[in-house]
Structure 1
Amino acid sequence: MLRTPMEKFLGPPLMTTIHSSKNTGGRKRFAEMKNVVKIAKFGSIILISGSDFVREVSQAPPDVWVVVILYKDGYPECGVLMQCLEELATMYPATKFVKMISTDCIPNYPDRNLPTVLVYNNRAVKANYVGLYTFGRRCTPEGVAMVLCQSDPVLNDGQYEGEASREAVLEGVRKRFIEKVISQHENDDDGSSSD
């Protein structure tokens, strides 16, 4: 019978293989898988309602950063930022991302302020960003990541903690941005040579 959450997650066949393995490779792989499961707490944007806010955001553990997007359907700016945050949520599974219809969170919240991003940690608002243009003229996942990590280690892939996490995220964002620019430049060059 499966007892621990890890045993339930892996299932009987894999657990039998792991337990019967006499070599350290099996145990090492099991430890690696256990670490991956521990890190990958979130990995997507969770839709919450007003009644979920306190439990999902305000009462999140102190080591978890929560990024909240207030939005409404039908607003293109909200869709653009939502796409960026969805990509970041998969890249940084140790950071919790939630989305909420703005008026469910704050009654009569003005639509002109959409989208709005709130950043929570340790039961307090650490930052808020009103409107799409706070993330740059061209809203990209890299630009959003840079803004979110300007002063705090908001985004976390689970590999580092604190300031080391912030620096690792910023370095990764810079690297992906450079790779994207080079790739676009190479694609532009390829397209112009066929004329």
Structure 2
Amino acid sequence: MANNHEEDTEWNDILRAKGIIPQKEGEITEADIVDMIDEAIAKRDAKNYEEKTVDELDELLDEANEDEERMLMEYRQQRLNMIKQELSEDKFGEIQHIYKTDFVREVSDASKDFWRSECSPGRHIIIALYSLPVCKLMGAHLATVAARNKATKFVKIIGDQCIPDYPDRNLPTLLIYGQGDMKAQLVGAAPLGGMNMKPEDIEAYLRRVGAIKIPESRTSRTEEVKQSSIRSSAVAALSDDDEYESDDY
């Protein structure tokens, strides 16, 4: 007679202890079910709280019991911290003109401070070296990009003031600084379309090298498209399965 591994016998206990047969799966008790329900409710409430504004959380606090009040106060503080961080990040929004004597303070040292700061971790500084007419075009577009990305610092400096004897043929040049070091560089306007470049071309390059963040709205749209594609694939697969089953009959 075959041995039933699920039976509670002394022999099975010995086999389990020696690893010969797998441990018996624990039975789900009524208390376990209650705990799982409570955990699901807590996760749902937490998600709802995360989406509330500070004013909405204040309204909920007026009607909350002691446990709910503790949780609501935590989420309220989180929201206030997020608002404080956003305000501290979005403090640039324009191109700052600097000179050779300013470079270490405004670029090298400042980029180190960004990476050490709790409010601005991973922030970069974009340095535009200019001189030629095409540099004026890039400068105008950079002003637009800076206004759209206020968490990133943009500065500009005449080319040979930044790098002695820097050739005009390499202008405009963009230097991307982070943690006190140059992380990337773009030499000349040709990679961006030359005199046909647009602010969007510059933004695309800066996102590609990680110098500016992708807007949340664009990330959300990308995720929606991705989820829609997954759903469409699933529906198509189910439809194919239905046709296959019909052929069998």
State the TM-score bracket (shorter-chain normalisation).
0.5 to 0.7
Find 2:190's aligned residue among 118, 133, 137: 133
Q: For the residues of structure 1 that align with 2:217 and 2:158, how far apart are their CA atoms?
A: 29
How far is the alpha carbon of 1:41 from its aligned partner? 2.1
Alignment correspondent of 1:155: 212
Relative CO higher for 1 or 2, CA cutoff 8 Å, sep ≥ 6?
A: 1
Please provide the CA RMSD for this pair: 2.9
Give me the TM-score of the superposition, normalised by structure 1: 0.61
Q: For the residues of structure 1 that align with 2:218 and 2:201, how far apart are their CA atoms?
A: 13
Alignment correspondent of 2:218: 171
Structure 2, gaps ≥5 residues long: 1-56, 60-75, 116-121, 223-249
Higher Cα Rg, which structure: 2
Give me the TM-score of the superposition, normalised by structure 2: 0.49
Is residue 78 of structure 1 aligned with residue 135 of structure 2? yes
**Paired amino acid for 2:105:** R
Q: For the residues of structure 2 that align with 1:43 and 1:112, how far apart are their CA atoms?
A: 29
**Paired amino acid for 1:51:** T
How far is the alpha carbon of 1:133 from its aligned partner? 1.1
Provide the identity percentage: 35
**Structure 1 contact 149–170 (Cα < 8 Å) conserved:** no
**Paired amino acid for 1:145:** E
Q: What is the total number of aligned residue pairs between the two structures?
A: 137
Is residue 37 of structure 1 aligned with residue 87 of structure 2? yes
Is residue 46 of structure 1 aligned with residue 104 of structure 2? no
How far is the alpha carbon of 1:39 from its aligned partner? 2.5
Q: 1:145 to 1:170 in 2, by over 3 A?
A: farther
Is residue 115 of structure 1 aligned with residue 172 of structure 2? yes
How far is the alpha carbon of 1:147 from its aligned partner? 1.4
Q: For the residues of structure 2 that align with 1:66 and 1:52, how far apart are their CA atoms?
A: 14
**Paired amino acid for 1:99:** K
